[in-house]
Amino acid sequence: MKTIETNKVANQFVFTGKIASISSFGGGHINDTFLVETDSNIRYILQKINKNVFRQPLHVIHNIEKLLNHFANIDQNTLITFPNVTGEKFVEDSNQDFWRLYNFVEGTQSYDVIQNKSQAYEAARAFGSFQLSTLGLDADDFYETIPNFHHLGKRFEKFDVVLENDPKSRIKLAENEIQFALDHRKIAIITSEFIATGQLPVRVTHNDTKLNNALLHYQTGKGVCVIDLDTVMPGLVMYDYGDMVRSFTSPVPEDEKDISKVHLRKEIFEELTKGYLSVLSNVLTKTEKENLLLGAKYMTLIMGLRFLTDYIEGDVYYKTKYEDHNLVRAKNQFALLASLEGQEDELQKIILANI
């Protein structure tokens, strides 16, 4: 987007100082994000909601404001959103796109790959603290910002349709990955039974607990806050725990082309489990705790399946940098899942030792 257009949007918000510069920021797959620097030396994050992904942007805004108001009432260190000149916490531009302005959390940084065990502990503890702070919220008060976002059964249904149509003639290029996904369909069946019988409580969850969504203090390394709240909505704790395992434990990024480098690091798994359960062990149900590892398998599978589906469909959802980028991502996730399954007994013992 041209700078003049982002300036026009940004200037409709109420903030301190005048805009000195606006530049693209971060490496997110979905939304367009910009760093706003001002002549008052205060920085902000300007973000456009991707309406192709979030079909009801006002539902996203409703959820975030409800969450942040709750956090403010309990003195939880968190993000701040800024109003526009009429008091609304968003700006709608001439293309009917919705924008938000956040504070820039100074003194922090995020990581795409865990560099040491302390980072795993602190980032997981930040997500655990986030979850603990949401326990006073009623999931019924929150919209589902992406319907069936973590519904593995629905993801397989879409996968089946895409396989049948093969719109870009890519099936022959992904035969091994397709078979791997189909061989693991049972994970969806097992989880759906837990949900249908009400054994896993629906809570307000983050639903996108990637490592780079936890901000750590750049000097102390302590977890400061959790960001990227667009997917905060009703969900299961096993989803959030599982996505941490998926995104924390591999020693390489999720688009590493050398799949031989992908494996689950048990020592990182142990630290993230300790960090997450250090604040949640006493409040989660027995069934929730017993099925955390199922959540890790579930989330690694669903992400691999989503990347694979998007690849076969023609890269319509995720931003890609080259033709088989999504296929590389899928291979990466399936290799991580295979590594997890090879260590399953040891990993379950680690969880049991921390509950």
The string of DSSP letters for 212-257 reads GGEEEETTT--EEEE---TT-EEE-HHHHHHHHHHHHS-SS-TT-S
Whole-number pLDDT of residue 318: 86
- Please compute the mean of the pLDDT values over residues 91-105 and round it to a whole number: 96
Do both 232 and 343 map to the same domain?
yes
Do both 96 and 162 map to the same domain?
no
Q: Which of 113, 110, 109, 111 is nearest to 252 (CA)?
A: 113
Do 155 and 302 form a contact (C-beta atoms < 8 A)? yes
Do 310 and 317 form a contact (C-beta atoms < 8 A)? yes
Do both 146 and 83 map to the same domain?
no
Do both 79 and 221 map to the same domain?
no
Do both 82 and 169 map to the same domain?
no
Element (H, E) at 330: helix 325-342
Mean pLDDT, the chain, whole residue set: 95
Do both 145 and 211 map to the same domain?
yes
In order of 16, 81, 98, 112, 305, the CA distances from 19 in angstroms are 9, 17, 20, 29, 42
Whole-number pLDDT of residue 310: 97
Q: What single-letter amino acid sits at 290?
A: E
Whole-number pLDDT of residue 319: 84
- 294 versus 198: the higher-pLDDT residue is 294
Total domain count, the chain: 2
In order of 17, 40, 273, 326, 329, the CA distances from 333 in angstroms are 44, 44, 20, 11, 6
- Please compute the mean of the pLDDT values over residues 90-114 and round it to a whole number: 94
Query: What whole-number distance in Å separates Cα of residue 107 and Cα of residue 115?
Result: 18
Do both 132 and 272 map to the same domain?
yes
pLDDT at 4 over 80: no
Whole-number pLDDT of residue 28: 64
Phi then psi for 185, rounded to 5 degrees?
-60, -25
CATH number at residue 95: 3.30.200.20
Do both 206 and 66 map to the same domain?
no
pTM tops 0.85: yes
- Tell me the per-residue pLDDT of 282-328, one tens digit each, with 9 for 90 and over: 999 999 999 999 999 999 999 999 999 999 999 998 889 999 999 99
Per the DSSP assignment, residues forming a β-bridge with 204 are 234
Query: What whole-number distance in Å separates Cα of residue 85 and Cα of residue 267?
Result: 50
- Tell me the per-residue pLDDT of 261-288, one tens digit each, with 9 for 90 and over: 999 999 999 999 999 999 999 999 999 9
Query: What whole-number distance in Å separates Cα of residue 32 and Cα of residue 27?
Result: 9
Whole-number pLDDT of residue 75: 78
In the listed set 104, 129, 148, which residue is the last one of a domain according to the structure? Answer: 104
Phi then psi for 19, rounded to 5 degrees?
-65, 125
- Please compute the mean of the pLDDT values over residues 128-141 and round it to a whole number: 96
Token pair listed for 236: 């299961």
Q: What single-letter amino acid sits at 313?
A: E
Q: Which of 33, 29, 30, 26 is nearest to 6 (CA)?
A: 33
How much of the chain exceeds pLDDT 90, in percent? 89
Do both 125 and 84 map to the same domain?
no
pLDDT at 1 over 50: no
In the listed set 50, 70, 104, which residue is the last one of a domain according to the structure? Answer: 104
In the listed set 74, 104, 134, which residue is the last one of a domain according to the structure? Answer: 104
Do both 33 and 60 map to the same domain?
yes
Whole-number pLDDT of residue 78: 80
Whole-number pLDDT of residue 3: 64
- Tell me the per-residue pLDDT of 104-133, one tens digit each, with 9 for 90 and over: 999 999 998 898 999 999 999 999 999 999
CATH number at residue 178: 3.90.1200.10
Question: What is the extent of the structural domain holding 51?
Answer: 3-104
Per-residue burial over 244-265, b if 16 or more Cβ lie within 10 Å, else e, is bbbbbbbebebbbeeeeebbbb
Do both 20 and 151 map to the same domain?
no
Do both 73 and 210 map to the same domain?
no
- Please compute the mean of the pLDDT values over residues 319-348 and round it to a whole number: 97
